[in-house]
Amino acid sequence: MTASGSRLFSAPATQLPMSSEDFAQAARLLSDRTGIVLGDHKEEMTARVLDAQARKSGQGSVAAYLAYLRQHPQAEIWQSFINAFTVNHTAFFRERHHFEILADFAKQRPAPISVWCCAASTGEEAYTIAMTLLEVCGRAPSRVSVLATDIDSKAIQKAQRGVYTAERVKAIPENLLRQYFQRGRGSNEGLVRVKPVLGECIRFQTLNLVEPAWPIDQKFDAIFCRNTMIYFDKKTQVRILERFVPLLKKDGLLFAGHSENFTYLTQVFRLQGQTVYRVVS
């Protein structure tokens, strides 16, 4: 026990100690700023993150680092704090059936088709959406519009670069790979880069889904919000779902992750297919 009576989580001797109060405070700060819920099973991970962030910021302890965050809500280190807790697991054509549904849906809609990918991570999902739409709507960027956002600024920067290893693009059909990616040569051997015809369809920006106002001034034919709601509590999930409604065009679709079920959360969406929803008229 420490002098304050709080327990210290076990950690290597070189790691800055994190008390139970530190963990609770970090969880509150993260939840208030992003809506992400840190469960008790994330204690060890949180200790590692706070150790790294405290050292990076020049603070001598985890408690001092958290105090600085509290006292400076507009400080630049907040973004680093948020980035450290976000999960960037994504892939090209992940949950492939969604893109088959999107292609069929787009065939019935007038161009340009607009889609919001609201948890774009490092870009694989957004580029998959754009490829799918270009194949249906014609290979002209003016016919396809994808807004790709994520709370993690580093992930968005990587997405904007549009450079991936050959291993990452294995799920892309060969004909699409040739059409939309350029293979690296020489020192770039083993890498591929997004071609302009694909990159010009997408606008990337950092966006926090729990912000009181979203900097969005358009409506969308579809919204992809996949494998994101699982990190929020139910109240936050409902609020975000209800905020999606006015941003969808008539008969627009909402795509969710394979482990997410919105039917019991709100009556504003009805299930349209496998983890695909439509606004209730």
The 10s digit of each residue's pLDDT in 42-89 is 899 999 989 999 998 888 899 999 999 999 988 888 989 888 888 777
Arithmetic mean of pLDDT over the chain: 90
Nearest CA to 247 out of 279, 206, 210, 204 is that of: 279
Residue 274 tokens read as: 């496998």
Residue 9: inside a domain, yes or no? Answer: no
- 143-168 residue pLDDT tens: 999 999 999 999 999 999 999 999 99
**pLDDT value of residue 10:** 46
Looking at 85, 119, 138, the residue that finishes a domain is 85
Residues near 26 by Cβ (< 8 Å), separated by ≥ 6?
38, 46, 50, 66
The answer on pLDDT for 235 being more than 80 is yes
Our count of domains for the chain comes to 2
| % of the chain surpassing 70 pLDDT | 95
Residue 38 sits in a domain of what CATH number? 1.10.155.10
Residue 5: inside a domain, yes or no? Answer: no
**pTM score, whole prediction:** 0.85
Give the mean model confidence (pLDDT) for residues 231-259: 93
**pLDDT value of residue 3:** 38
Residues 79 and 146 in one domain: no
Convert 65-92 to b/e letters by CB count within 10 Å (16 or more is b).
bbebbeeeeeeebeeebbbbbbebebbb
Residue 167 sits in a domain of what CATH number? 3.40.50.150
Residue 91: inside a domain, yes or no? Answer: no
Report how far Cα 15 is from the mean position of its chain's Cα atoms: 29
Full domain range(s) for residue 34: 20-85
